[in-house]
Amino acid sequence: MATVLLRTLIVYALFVLAIRLTGKRQIGELQISELVITFMISELATAPIQDISIPLSYSVIPIVFLLTFEVIVSFLVTKSKLLKKLFTGNPSYIIRNGKLNQGELGKLRIGLNELLGELRLKDVSDINDVDYAIVEQNGKISVFLKKHKRIVTTSDLDIDVKRDGLGHAVIIDGNIDYTSLGYAQKNEAWLNKQLKERNLELDEVFLMTVDDASSINIIIKEEK
């Protein structure tokens, strides 16, 4: 049983590394080749765990090979149009300039009900409001509404707004997140100064965020 446990740990570590190296994308966002690799690796990984008479090398060698092959293919795909078409395909326009492309819909085997369902999921109740609908390489549908149906933005109204950017969580549960602090382009001395100005100790802070415009938001820990 100890062998099974050790094998499981080795295969688990290798599998996590493999998935980590292929990228941070979710299963639904995987390209076709990445999806194939994920299925193959998961199958290969379990075989020597279930049957200890199979050498671990039967699993390790194909996993490492598939992983490295995937990295090479991904690189070559970015360099060659032909390979890109072969491995990832092209986005398909199912609605172009407000006109439904029935041929493309049939080719992709997407039913009208399915398309209407996808549009409803994107808060589109009328297909006539859609300017473009594109089936991306990962199978997801991107929808762009006609100009008069789009949400009004500040630029449409010619309003000048101050950029606030992303809120970086610099303190999480009383601990400084130095990576986020770096992203916010601040340092520990600045952070301590901010806390001092507010008469706060580091371990009293549950969450502190700083956005790119240096606006600070602090949530203090609740007393237990």
Partner 1 sequence: MKAFIVSLVVIVLFTSLIIINAIYINRVANDLISVANSAKIDTGCEKLSSLWESKRLIISLCAHHKEIDKIEEQILLMQDSARANDYISFDRARVLLVEYIDHIRKHERVTLDNIL
Which residues neighbour 159 within 8 Å (Cβ) at sequence distance 6 or greater?
none
- DSSP string computed for 117-156: HHHHHTT---GGGEEEEEE-TTS-EEEEE-GGGSPP-TTT
Instruction: Mark 55-84 with x for binding to partner 1 (rule: CB under 8 A) and - for no binding.
Output: x-x---x--xx-xxx-xx--x---------
> Is 50 an interacting residue with respect to partner 1 (CB under 8 A)?
no
Q: How far is the CB of 138 from partner 1 (least distance, A)?
A: 21
Q: Let me know: does 15 contact 63? Beta carbons within 8 Å.
A: yes
Whichever of 3 and 102 has its CB closer to partner 1, that residue is 3
Whichever of 87 and 130 has its CB closer to partner 1, that residue is 87
CA distances 39 to 21, 30, 61, 116, Å, are 15, 11, 16, 30
Which two structure tokens, joined as six digits, stand for 83?
Answer: 């390979």
Contact with partner 1 (CB under 8 A) among 4, 17, 21, 86: 21
Q: How far is the CB of 6 from partner 1 (least distance, A)?
A: 15
Which residues neighbour 117 within 8 Å (Cβ) at sequence distance 6 or greater?
none
Whichever of 21 and 27 has its CB closer to partner 1, that residue is 21
User: Among residue numbers 149 through 178, which ones bind partner 1 (CB under 8 A)?
Assistant: none
Site residues, partner 1 (CB under 8 A): 21, 52-55, 57, 61, 64-65, 67-69, 71-72, 75
